[in-house]
Chains A and B, each alone.
Chain A
Amino acid sequence: MSGSEQIPVHRAPLSGSGRCLGVDTLGPEPVLVLARKRGAGVAFRRVAAATEAPAGTPVAAALSPREGLTRVLTPPLRAPGKARRVLATLLDIDLPFDLDECVVCYVDQTVRRTEPRWLAVVGRRTAIGARLDELRGLGLDPACLDHAGVAAWTQSLQEAPPPSGAAAPARVVMLLEGEQAVVALGRGAVLAGCYAVREDDAARIARLVRANRGDGDEPVEWVFAGSGAADRQRRETVRSALLALVPGTVRDIGEPEAFLARALARRALTPGPLRCDLRQEEFVHAAVERRRRRGSRRAALVCVAAALALLAADIAVLRIARARLRAADRRIEAAVDRLAGYEVAARGDDALTMVEAAVAERSAALRPFARMFEPSLAALVADVVETAAQHGLRLAALDLRNDRATVRGSAPDWDACEPLARQLRSAGFTADIAREERLEDERVGFRVEAETAP
Chain B
Amino acid sequence: MTRREVNPVLWGAAAILTAAAVAGTVHALRTLDASGERLAARRETAASLRVMAGELAALQARRRKLDAVPGAKAVQLDTILRSALGGAAADDVRESTEELDPPWRLRRKEVVLGDLPLERVLAAVRQAEAQRPPWRLAECRIEASPAAPGRGRTVLVFETLEKRRGAG
Residues of A within 8 A of B79 (CB): none
C-alpha spacing A129/B141, complex, angstroms: 120
Residues of A within 8 A of B73 (CB): none
C-alpha spacing A356/B52, complex, angstroms: 8
B56 adjacent to A311 (CB under 8 Å): no
B56 adjacent to A339 (CB under 8 Å): yes
Residues of A within 8 A of B60 (CB): 366
CB-contact partner of B125 in A311, A381, A394, A398, under 8 A: A381
Residues of A within 8 A of B63 (CB): 366, 369
Q: A310-B21, A311-B21 are in contact. Are A396 and B14 (CB under 8 A)?
A: no
Interface residues of A in 210-228 (CB under 8 A from B): none
A366 adjacent to B59 (CB under 8 Å): yes
B56 adjacent to A359 (CB under 8 Å): yes
A328 to B, closest residue via Cβ: B42
B20 adjacent to A300 (CB under 8 Å): no
Interface size on A, residues (CB 8 A): 60
B14 adjacent to A365 (CB under 8 Å): no
| A376-394 vs B, Cβ < 8 Å mask (1 yes, 0 no) | 1110011001000000001
Interface size on B, residues (CB 8 A): 64
Q: Is chain A's interface secondary structure helix, strand, loop, or mixed overall?
A: helix
Instruction: Judge whether A85 is part of the interface by a CB distance below 8 angstroms.
Output: no
A376 adjacent to B136 (CB under 8 Å): yes
CB-contact partner of A314 in B25, B59, B122, B142, under 8 A: B25
A394 adjacent to B3 (CB under 8 Å): no
Interface residues of A in 248-300 (CB under 8 A from B): 293, 296-297, 300
Residues of B within 8 A of A296 (CB): 7, 11
CB-contact partner of B49 in A332, A363, A368, under 8 A: A332
Among A68-76, A159-167, A319-327, the one that faces the other chain is A319-327
Q: A314-B24, A314-B27, A400-B140 are in contact. Are A325 and B35 (CB under 8 A)?
A: yes
C-alpha spacing A239/B78, complex, angstroms: 141
28 contacts between A and B (CB under 8 A): A293-B3, A296-B7, A296-B11, A301-B10, A301-B14, A306-B18, A307-B20, A310-B22, A311-B17, A311-B21, A314-B27, A335-B49, A335-B50, A355-B49, A362-B59, A363-B59, A365-B100, A366-B59, A369-B63, A372-B136, A372-B161, A378-B126, A394-B149, A396-B146, A397-B141, A399-B141, A399-B142, A400-B141
List 12 other contacts, CB 8 Å, given A378-B125, A378-B126.
A303-B11, A329-B42, A332-B45, A335-B50, A359-B55, A369-B62, A371-B159, A372-B161, A377-B138, A398-B141, A398-B144, A402-B139
List the 7 closest pairs (A to B, CB-CB), nearest first: A307-B17, A366-B59, A303-B14, A310-B21, A300-B10, A314-B24, A328-B42
